[in-house]
Chain A
């Protein structure tokens, strides 16, 4: 038996206002002057209409149709949940309804979808994971057992920390760099920690996440029965299909047939004799690691490089990252509790992502996700905000 494990990342960053050097040091309120409420609301409502609500409805329908045998997992970031509470509580309600079916698992992350796991001192990371945990308990009355770091960023050090915090499983990329000849379709164990690692099958995941509507791809058009057959031919315990939730209806619009694909997927999977669905927690309970992985340098599921160069690939990104860390040190020294939340919203990895200058295919993906005209605009705006914030805490 091979289990299909579907997991969806659900996240929205708090995008920044246009903030020029002339705004630096004008005694403005960070919460209103830094974040572009209008744009954020527009984007959130658009994505909710195109993706969150229709996909949640479809999943609920499918779970009921197949008596709970169709199972999926989600991670909802803290900023996403704040969006729901602020603008569209019905979106959060529909996730709760899905969760109540018992066929849906929730995954832990950092509340702010940040790069705090890469700080020298892991206290901030721990705080943000705990915040997420509290949020999950409050909203879902649930303690997730599996952890997924921001964009699946993973190395030995992070794995050790997450294991120490009591999680049973952790998610990352099925990168060739760590697997070599080995298959991502099994659980593995980090060399230095006692935790089970689920590895994304990037080939099959990207067939849906990236290539589904790409007419030049030989697999196009991708139908549910074709895809289920591909999975049926997979060897191993698990096929991990991990992707952005926005795959459905937002990255691939409705007219590409993505919803029809999803609608037929469970039925086609069940037609294959040796396939079933599991949540991430069930995967970790059911299977045992077949080998060890050693990840001294951070990997992730982002871009072609599958490392952290997406956020820390150029000097501009490094300088913003350094400023964020420096601000954190000062905040802890000065004890500005009221500014802590703002600092954390600025830590959301998307702000650094917008400053990426990677060219070619990745660049096109970056431009798609960014509301700035180019990475330089993204940097100027972010750095201006950080400079203003620094003055506020001094």
Chain B
């Protein structure tokens, strides 16, 4: 089977779960003897593949992340243009590739940034289009002010796709309810994780993610404030960057806890692994979380996790704690309980790691193959 896959990020260039997913999926597909051509933008960090069946093809250049908003200052004015340009370049590159290497069996694209190209390739070469939805505009906007431009692109891609893969039932429901797509066209494939080694645990409570409205870091800080009244020696780490960083720093200063909260900014992959390993508690207070690979990463590092009740991964995962993202009293209750009650921490840590073993990219690749075989 020959697959043209269109992505936006790939390690070492990585802004979110999309990169992790594409990395895990393409490598496992290649291991199962599929020929995967992965198209992505050219970046400063060159991505490459050590697998015979997997080719990484870098196309043009772009400054846009899948999580960018059109109103972000650096890319003002050229946002929409950049998206169209990248999609056109990818489509052209695939045309060239077809001429030299022959036709693809399927084109597979991920999220809104790549949908235009996916549709064009489907129509030009008359091959089925598979679309994976990692998040929707509703998730990224925290359901506050979703941007119609993204919604229109997403809707068009979903309508034209022969099959949609949703990363959770949560996301499947959004696709059905908000985009009016027939549920029979949508398969749910939960993500997987490459396990991260456990480190020497310290009294650190970790938030790790983009500092955007979607990820709910402000609720993490509110809970931190409450925890510190009872457990004053606790340290809180906010890892990641995003448009809310200045506001969050202000918030921690206003609450008088800035000496207990560390803002790390953007971390390298090794730093991310390290911080997962040494943290005692991971909190994922997302306002809207289609899946939440970071939770599985933290759990794989033996770090008990408190996640939003609606987070997609928790549909299929038992050994974690759940809260409503706005319920910072309960979030604090659970953080303190994890810090105080060793047996709780130990049981969650060991049972969680056992359960993580079920979340392999091999399983994701098998399920994705099932989807391909259904449309070819």
Asked if chains A and B come from one complex, the reply is yes
A316–B347 CB distance below 8 A: yes
B182 to chain A, nearest CB (A): 30
Closest residue of chain A to B231, judged by CB? A21
Residue ranges of B at the interface with A (Cβ–Cβ < 8 Å): 226, 230, 318-319, 321-322, 329-330, 332-334, 336-337, 340-344, 346-348, 351
Taking a contact as CB atoms closer than 8 A, the residue among A21, A316, A357, A359 that contacts B230 in the complex is A21
CA–CA, A363 and B337, complex, Å:
23
For residues 331 through 377 of chain A, which have their beta carbon under 8 Å from a beta carbon of chain B?
A: 357, 359, 363, 373-374, 376-377
Q: Does A318 contact B (CB under 8 A)?
A: yes
A380–B334 CB distance below 8 A: yes
B74 to chain A, nearest CB (A): 43
A316–B344 CB distance below 8 A: yes
Closest residue of chain B to A384, judged by CB? B337
A383–B329 CB distance below 8 A: no
Query: Which residues from B are CB-within-8-Å of A181?
Result: none
Query: Which residues from A are CB-within-8-Å of B346?
Result: 315
Once A20-B329, A20-B330 are accepted as A-B contacts, the answer to whether A376 and B340 lie under 8 Å apart by CB is no
A319–B318 CB distance below 8 A: no
CA–CA, A203 and B333, complex, Å:
44
CA–CA, A319 and B230, complex, Å:
22
Q: Does A314 contact B (CB under 8 A)?
A: yes
A21–B340 CB distance below 8 A: yes
B343–A316 CB distance below 8 A: yes
Once A373-B322, A374-B318, A376-B321 are accepted as A-B contacts, the answer to whether A315 and B347 lie under 8 Å apart by CB is yes
B333–A319 CB distance below 8 A: no
B342 to chain A, nearest CB (A): 8
Query: Which residues from B are CB-within-8-Å of A379?
Result: 341, 343-344, 347
A376–B333 CB distance below 8 A: no
- Classify the interface of chain A: helix, strand, loop or mixed: helix
Closest residue of chain A to B351, judged by CB? A357
Taking a contact as CB atoms closer than 8 A, the residue among B230, B318, B337, B343 that contacts A318 in the complex is B343
Query: Which residues from A are CB-within-8-Å of B321?
Result: 374, 376-377
CA–CA, A46 and B307, complex, Å:
33
B333–A380 CB distance below 8 A: yes
Query: Which residues from B are CB-within-8-Å of A377?
Result: 321
B344 to chain A, nearest CB (A): 6
B347–A380 CB distance below 8 A: no
B333–A20 CB distance below 8 A: yes
Query: Which residues from B are CB-within-8-Å of A374?
Result: 318, 321-322
A314–B333 CB distance below 8 A: no
CA–CA, A20 and B336, complex, Å:
10
Query: Which residues from A are CB-within-8-Å of B342?
Result: 315, 319
Closest residue of chain A to B346, judged by CB? A315
Q: Most chain-A CB neighbours within 10 Å: which of B322, B330, B336, B347?
A: B347
Closest residue of chain A to B333, judged by CB? A20
Residue ranges of A at the interface with B (Cβ–Cβ < 8 Å): 20-22, 314-316, 318-319, 357, 359, 363, 373-374, 376-377, 379-380, 383-384
Query: Which residues from A are CB-within-8-Å of B343?
Result: 314-316, 318-319, 379
Query: Which residues from B are CB-within-8-Å of A384?
Result: 333, 337
CA–CA, A314 and B342, complex, Å:
12
Query: Which residues from B are CB-within-8-Å of A316?
Result: 341, 343-344, 347
Query: Which residues from A are CB-within-8-Å of B322?
Result: 373-374
A21–B347 CB distance below 8 A: no
B333 to chain A, nearest CB (A): 4
Closest residue of chain B to A320, judged by CB? B343
A357–B347 CB distance below 8 A: yes
Q: Could you show 16 A-B contacts with beta carbons less than 8 Å apart?
A: A20-B329, A20-B333, A21-B337, A22-B230, A22-B332, A315-B343, A316-B343, A318-B343, A319-B341, A359-B318, A374-B321, A376-B321, A376-B348, A380-B333, A380-B337, A383-B344
When A and B form their complex, which 4 residue pairs have the shortest distance between CB atoms, in order from nearest? A315-B343, A20-B333, A319-B343, A380-B337
Taking a contact as CB atoms closer than 8 A, the residue among B226, B329, B341, B351 that contacts A380 in the complex is B341
B168 to chain A, nearest CB (A): 18
CA–CA, A376 and B350, complex, Å:
13
Query: Which residues from A are CB-within-8-Å of B337?
Result: 21, 380, 383-384
A376–B344 CB distance below 8 A: yes
A21–B336 CB distance below 8 A: yes
B351–A22 CB distance below 8 A: no
CA–CA, A319 and B343, complex, Å:
7
Beyond A21-B337, A315-B343, 20 extra complex contacts between A and B, CB < 8 Å: A21-B230, A21-B336, A22-B332, A315-B342, A315-B346, A316-B344, A318-B343, A319-B342, A319-B343, A373-B322, A374-B318, A374-B322, A376-B344, A377-B321, A379-B344, A379-B347, A380-B344, A383-B341, A383-B344, A384-B333
Closest residue of chain B to A19, judged by CB? B333
CA–CA, A389 and B34, complex, Å:
61
CA–CA, A380 and B345, complex, Å:
11
CA–CA, A362 and B340, complex, Å:
29
CA–CA, A100 and B298, complex, Å:
62
Closest residue of chain A to B227, judged by CB? A21
Query: Which residues from A are CB-within-8-Å of B334?
Result: 380
Closest residue of chain B to A373, judged by CB? B322
B57 to chain A, nearest CB (A): 44
Closest residue of chain A to B348, judged by CB? A376
A152 to chain B, nearest CB (A): 26
Closest residue of chain B to A24, judged by CB? B230
Query: Which residues from B are CB-within-8-Å of A363?
Result: 318
Query: Which residues from B are CB-within-8-Å of A359?
Result: 318
B348–A22 CB distance below 8 A: no
CA–CA, A374 and B306, complex, Å:
13
B320 to chain A, nearest CB (A): 8
A310 to chain B, nearest CB (A): 15
CA–CA, A318 and B230, complex, Å:
25
Closest residue of chain A to B321, judged by CB? A376
CA–CA, A210 and B321, complex, Å:
30
Query: Which residues from A are CB-within-8-Å of B332?
Result: 21-22
CA–CA, A318 and B343, complex, Å:
9
CA–CA, A255 and B351, complex, Å:
38
CA–CA, A315 and B347, complex, Å:
7
Closest residue of chain B to A318, judged by CB? B343
Q: Most chain-B CB neighbours within 10 Å: which of A316, A318, A363, A373?
A: A316
Closest residue of chain A to B336, judged by CB? A21
Query: Which residues from B are CB-within-8-Å of A383?
Result: 337, 341, 344
B226 to chain A, nearest CB (A): 8
Closest residue of chain A to B226, judged by CB? A22
Query: Which residues from A are CB-within-8-Å of B230?
Result: 21-22
Q: Most chain-A CB neighbours within 10 Å: which of B330, B334, B337?
A: B337
